[in-house]
Structure 1
């Protein structure tokens, strides 16, 4: 079993502004560990996590892929989350490169079809549209969970970027809940972006039925 990254450097006051790792985080870690052999054989050169929060997930990925991944990129709209992610990398002797930005907007041209691993545990909780938009504008902890209509308002915005970022052999891991309509997500990604998918892990956590979906290019 691969140990969870050391997060003892983060304080309670950090978690007032940054999402604390929870069941949705851990199912993503477990999916990556489950795919460790494939991820290692991929020999990735670039990984990108959208909304890195505490930095736990990218740091965990680095413990699997090691130095074979030359660049661990993370974005977060929340500047405090960027600082926490960078600190988590340092605490675990991993160099995470942070970009304080919404989704992957500043990176699209430079990373065109060159990202081998994309990770996204999005704000998936269904809320009213204005709440999701307000949370993104506030650039604080609310942006880590408020997902708008069907919990897909922010995730849908990123889907149009995935096909431009993912390398020919790339793997995109997405956390979703049943309310997000996972079959529809899979259909749209296949029809609109020629990305095939499968559910690699499912788990019930309280009232949430969590899934991790893996997307790859059609060959």
Structure 2
């Protein structure tokens, strides 16, 4: 079993503004560990995590494929999260490169079709549209969970970006809940972007039924 990254440097006051790793984080770690052999054999050069929060997930990925073999890029709309992710990388001896931006807005031209591994644990909780929009404007912890109508308001914006970013043989891992209508997500990604998918892990956490979906190009 691959250990969870060391987060002992983060304090309670950090988690007042930055999402603390929880069951949705851990199911993504478990999905990556489950795919560890394939991820290692990919010989990836670029990883991109959207909304890195504490930096736990990208630091964990480095435990699978090596801290120096890959450019570990992370984005977060929350500047405090960028600071925490940077600190977590330092704590775990992983050179995480942080960009304070919404989704991958400032990286599309630079990374066109060149990202081998894309990771996204999005704000998936269904809320009213206004709540999700305000959370993004405020750039604080609310932006890590408020997902708007059916929890897909932010994720829907990212799908065209992942198509622009993902390398021909790349992998995209997405955390979702049942309310996000996972079969519709899979159908849409195949029809619109030629990406096949598989639900690689499912788990119930309280009232949430969590899933990790892995997408790969099929055309």
Q: Deviations over 1:90-116 (max 9, x none)?
A: 000000000000000100001000000
Return the alpha-carbon distance in structure 1 between the equivalents of residues 193 and 161 of structure 2: 10
State the shift of 1:70 in Å: 2.6
Return the alpha-carbon distance in structure 2 between the equivalents of residues 198 and 38 of structure 1: 15
Return the alpha-carbon distance in structure 2 between the equivalents of residues 42 and 69 of structure 1: 11
Return the alpha-carbon distance in structure 2 between the equivalents of residues 129 and 172 of structure 1: 26
Q: 1:129 to 1:99 in 2, by over 3 A?
A: same
State the shift of 1:68 in Å: 5.9
Q: Deviations over 1:59-103 (max 9, x none)?
A: 000000104633000000000000000000000000000000000
Return the alpha-carbon distance in structure 1 between the equivalents of residues 35 and 195 of structure 2: 18
Structure 2 unaligned blocks of 5 or more: none
**Partner residue in 1 for 2:214:** 214
TM-score (norm 2): 0.99
Superposition misfits of 4+ residues, deviation over 4 angstroms: none
**Partner residue in 1 for 2:127:** 127
Structure 1 unaligned blocks of 5 or more: none
Residue 53 of structure 1: SS of its match in structure 2? coil
8 Å CA contact 1:43–1:68 kept in 2: the answer is no
**Partner residue in 2 for 1:178:** 178
Residue 196 of structure 1: SS of its match in structure 2? strand
TM-score (norm 1): 0.99
Higher alpha-carbon deviation: 104-113 or 65-74: 65-74
State the shift of 1:29 in Å: 0.1
8 Å CA contact 2:68–2:94 kept in 1: the answer is no
8 Å CA contact 1:48–1:118 kept in 2: the answer is yes
CA-based RMSD: 0.7
8 Å CA contact 2:67–2:94 kept in 1: the answer is no
Alignment of 1:92-107 (within 5 A): 92-107=92-107
Alignment of 1:137-156 (within 5 A): 137-156=137-156
